[in-house]
Chain A
Amino acid sequence: MVMSDMTYPACNADNNRMEPGLGGGQPRQEFCSVLDNGFMAESIAKIRLLAPYVAENCHPGQFVHLRLPNLEAHILRRPFSVYAADARSGEIQLLYQTVGAGTEHLTTVGRGAQIDVIGPIGRGWQPQPSAKRVLLVGGGLGVAPLYMLAASFRTDVEVHLVMGAQSADRLICREPFSTYITEPCLHITTDDGSAGQHCFTTKVVKDLLDEGSFDYIATCGPEAMQKAVAALAAEHKTVCEVSLERRMACGIGACLSCMVETINGPQRACVDGPVFSALEVIW
């Protein structure tokens, strides 16, 4: 899950599947001030919100469900993965791509505006605590929910990241990720060859898995990419989690709009996911 109109979401660091409304870490409704909001690249924007509850309680891979202001004819909220959260300042950051009326409108929301936020929602990444060598694979804005995950590993964990984008100017997360992941663990790919390797992320993932073993793989981005990464992980018998995106209405587990087919039966992307074990998903 990344960010788009009506799709996305993501978790809960506890090893429990979260049922919103029951128990700790449950989502709340918060009215949040916009700190700033602007384009980072063509059709890619970042919004910063003062959301103290989400900032304090969000686990890597979880999402927030936003009601966009002054857009009454659009009655559904929009889910967005949390890209960054700072419990001390109460700030969260979301990255989003303008793909429809909702996200187009979101770019017009300026500093000081109030946004109705529900979060944090969903099951996030759950790497094994014993993992020593991990691989993160983000396609496009799929890197967003991987950022907090990258920051969460102990320093003795070797973290690799394959970050793919259409072109060099769309690699907006390269700099922030470099705090946690640097050469030779950072692997860039672009569709047009304007930065890094001129290929899809999956080629690099295959090469890395062929070269050495990983304990854990986390991937987010286009579903075809995630499916391919999941297949490579299965081939190498490596634990893999994916973050799936579905059209969503309530975002809290009630409406059954966002179902994902799994070996355990249909699951809700919003609260049973958006992060799923790759082996559970029926692709």
Chain B
Amino acid sequence: MIDDNPAIDDTHLVDKDSLTTVDMGVNLGGLLMANPVTVGSGTFGNGKQYAGFYPLNRLGAITTKGVSGVPWAGNDNPRIAETASGMLNSIGLQNPGVESFVADELPWLATCGVPVIVNVSGHNASEYAAVIQRLETESAVSAYELNISCPNIDCGGMGFGTDPQTAYAVTQLCRKSTSRPLIVKLTPNVTDISEIACAVEAAGADAISLINTVLGMAIDVKRRRPVLARKVGGLSGPAIKPIALRMIYEVYQAVKIPLLGMGGICTASDAIEFMLAGATAVAIGTANFTDPMTAPTVVDGIREFCLEQNIPRVSELTGALL
């Protein structure tokens, strides 16, 4: 943008020495977000709990708690364990089902002035598709995120995300059910995540979110028993950030559709790492528990970084690793 010829009127161009605004908007597979920051499903309820801390339209999008066709009870206690720089959870996608979601949550979400990504759960492909079909007439829904990566349920969940054929099949069936942006959330608990990513891209996914939690375990040595009632659970938090970042980096090379990066992001610097590795947008998950102000703080920090670095559009960060 630098032009040394004073005869040319370049006032319409961005003056890199005095950048005062940053275009924070991103396009996540057709989902237009005012900034690249959303939240990790399950760490944010359906938003109400955080609305007392900041206006939710400071987010680029809200991602809901997982929604299934019928109510799910979730797992026994204890459901969580703190581990070094992280935590294990085995909540088990407890939720009151899609009808309750539509009646009790969507009307309020519709007033937040921010796109709503509904996270969708199921035990089989047709259950996922049924939830989407139920939500197609609901105008408050902006996009879907298919959770084919939850490690905490016995049937479905991660089972779909560890095999390219089943990942393809569930994505394809859901694709046929909607023209809204369809995001597929992948598990890191696989040998080659790029293979799964390519499968869901081929099945028509508009974007991929990664990573879900890393399967882990904690043991109470005095009781000689696992800490979690379910014995194993999903590890999240800063402990998994390097794994997530590496997977974003790999998948960015493998697919053309945009990525929603997550896994231990706590700061703007963390988020920018994910974007440089290839993420179009990012999600704040476990850090919401540590500090409920994390997500808006990350938004502000990304903007400040762009101003400092003379980056006029945040989308320029995506895949800009040198």
Known contacts A249-B87, A256-B79; is-contact A77 B289 (Cβ 8 Å):
yes
- CB of A26 within 8 A of CB of B77, answer no
| Chain B residues positioned under 8 Å from A74 (CB to CB) | 82
- CB of B77 within 8 A of CB of A247, answer yes
Binds B, one of A16-24, A90-98, A103-111, A180-188: A16-24
Is A277 at the interface (CB under 8 A from chain B)? no
Known contacts A67-B290, A74-B82, A76-B289; is-contact A254 B50 (Cβ 8 Å):
yes
- Say what secondary structure dominates the interface of chain A: loop
Is A224 at the interface (CB under 8 A from chain B)? no
User: Could you tell me the distance in whole angstroms from the C-beta of B165 to the nearest C-beta in chain A?
Assistant: 32
In this complex, the interface size class of chain B, counting residues with CB under 8 Å from chain A, is 35 or more
- CB of B86 within 8 A of CB of A247, answer no
The CA of A116 and the CA of B42, in the complex, are separated in Å by: 23
- CB of A259 within 8 A of CB of B51, answer no
Residue of A nearest to B52 (CB): A21
User: Could you tell me the distance in whole angstroms from the C-beta of A69 to the nearest C-beta in chain B?
Assistant: 12
Contact of A67 among B44, B94, B291 (CB under 8 A): B291
Is B293 at the interface (CB under 8 A from chain A)? yes
- CB of A259 within 8 A of CB of B237, answer no
Known contacts A22-B48, A77-B289; is-contact A254 B82 (Cβ 8 Å):
no
The CA of A268 and the CA of B104, in the complex, are separated in Å by: 17
Is A133 at the interface (CB under 8 A from chain B)? no
- CB of A247 within 8 A of CB of B81, answer yes
Residue of A nearest to B56 (CB): A21
- CB of A252 within 8 A of CB of B292, answer yes
The CA of A250 and the CA of B236, in the complex, are separated in Å by: 14
Is A263 at the interface (CB under 8 A from chain B)? no
In this complex, the interface size class of chain A, counting residues with CB under 8 Å from chain B, is 20 to 34
- CB of B79 within 8 A of CB of A250, answer no
| Chain B residues positioned under 8 Å from A249 (CB to CB) | 80, 87, 89, 286, 289
- CB of A259 within 8 A of CB of B77, answer yes
Known contacts A73-B84, A75-B82; is-contact A257 B91 (Cβ 8 Å):
yes
Is A253 at the interface (CB under 8 A from chain B)? yes
- CB of B89 within 8 A of CB of A75, answer no
The CA of A67 and the CA of B289, in the complex, are separated in Å by: 10
- CB of A259 within 8 A of CB of B79, answer yes
- CB of B86 within 8 A of CB of A256, answer no
The CA of A116 and the CA of B53, in the complex, are separated in Å by: 14
| Chain A residues positioned under 8 Å from B86 (CB to CB) | 75
- CB of A255 within 8 A of CB of B91, answer yes
Chain B positions 292 through 318: 1 when the CB is less than 8 Å from some CB of chain A, otherwise 0? 110000000000000000000000000
Is B45 at the interface (CB under 8 A from chain A)? yes
- CB of B49 within 8 A of CB of A250, answer yes
User: Could you tell me the distance in whole angstroms from the C-beta of B76 to the nearest C-beta in chain A?
Assistant: 9
Is B85 at the interface (CB under 8 A from chain A)? yes
Is B43 at the interface (CB under 8 A from chain A)? yes
The CA of A254 and the CA of B49, in the complex, are separated in Å by: 6
The CA of A249 and the CA of B80, in the complex, are separated in Å by: 8
- CB of A266 within 8 A of CB of B73, answer yes
The CA of A251 and the CA of B52, in the complex, are separated in Å by: 14
Known contacts A29-B292, A75-B237; is-contact A6 B77 (Cβ 8 Å):
no
| Chain A residues positioned under 8 Å from B287 (CB to CB) | 75
Find the residue from A20, A251, A254 having the highest chain B CB count within 10 A. Answer: A254
| Chain B residues positioned under 8 Å from A256 (CB to CB) | 42, 65, 74, 79, 91, 94
| Chain A residues positioned under 8 Å from B77 (CB to CB) | 246-247, 259
Is A138 at the interface (CB under 8 A from chain B)? no
Is A28 at the interface (CB under 8 A from chain B)? yes
| Chain A residues positioned under 8 Å from B53 (CB to CB) | 21, 28-29
- CB of B290 within 8 A of CB of A259, answer no
The CA of A166 and the CA of B288, in the complex, are separated in Å by: 38
| Chain B residues positioned under 8 Å from A73 (CB to CB) | 84-85
Contact of A76 among B42, B51, B65, B290 (CB under 8 A): B290
Known contacts A76-B87, A247-B80; is-contact A255 B51 (Cβ 8 Å):
no
Residue of A nearest to B95 (CB): A256
User: Could you tell me the distance in whole angstroms from the C-beta of B310 to the nearest C-beta in chain A?
Assistant: 31
| Chain B residues positioned under 8 Å from A251 (CB to CB) | 289
- CB of A22 within 8 A of CB of B51, answer yes
Is B30 at the interface (CB under 8 A from chain A)? no
Is A118 at the interface (CB under 8 A from chain B)? yes
- CB of A29 within 8 A of CB of B80, answer no
Chain B positions 28 through 61: 1 when the CB is less than 8 Å from some CB of chain A, otherwise 0? 0000000000000011110011111100000000
- CB of B289 within 8 A of CB of A250, answer yes
| Chain A residues positioned under 8 Å from B94 (CB to CB) | 256, 259, 266
Within residues 69 to 128 of chain A, which ones have a CB less than 8 A from any CB in chain B? Answer: 72-77, 116, 118
Is A27 at the interface (CB under 8 A from chain B)? yes
Known contacts A6-B82, A26-B52, A75-B238; is-contact A254 B43 (Cβ 8 Å):
yes
| Chain B residues positioned under 8 Å from A27 (CB to CB) | 52
| Chain A residues positioned under 8 Å from B293 (CB to CB) | 29
User: Could you tell me the distance in whole angstroms from the C-beta of B238 to the nearest C-beta in chain A?
Assistant: 7
Contact of B291 among A116, A253, A259 (CB under 8 A): A116
| Chain A residues positioned under 8 Å from B84 (CB to CB) | 73
6 contacts between A and B (CB under 8 A): A21-B53, A246-B77, A249-B286, A250-B292, A255-B43, A259-B77
Q: Which 6 A-B pairs have the closest CB atoms?
A: A21-B52, A254-B45, A254-B49, A21-B51, A257-B80, A26-B52
Footprint of B on A, CB under 8 Å? 6, 19-22, 26-29, 67, 72-77, 116, 118, 246-257, 259, 266, 271
For the A-B complex with A20-B48, A250-B49, A254-B50 known, give 4 more contacts whose Cβ atoms are closer than 8 Å.
A6-B82, A76-B80, A255-B45, A266-B73
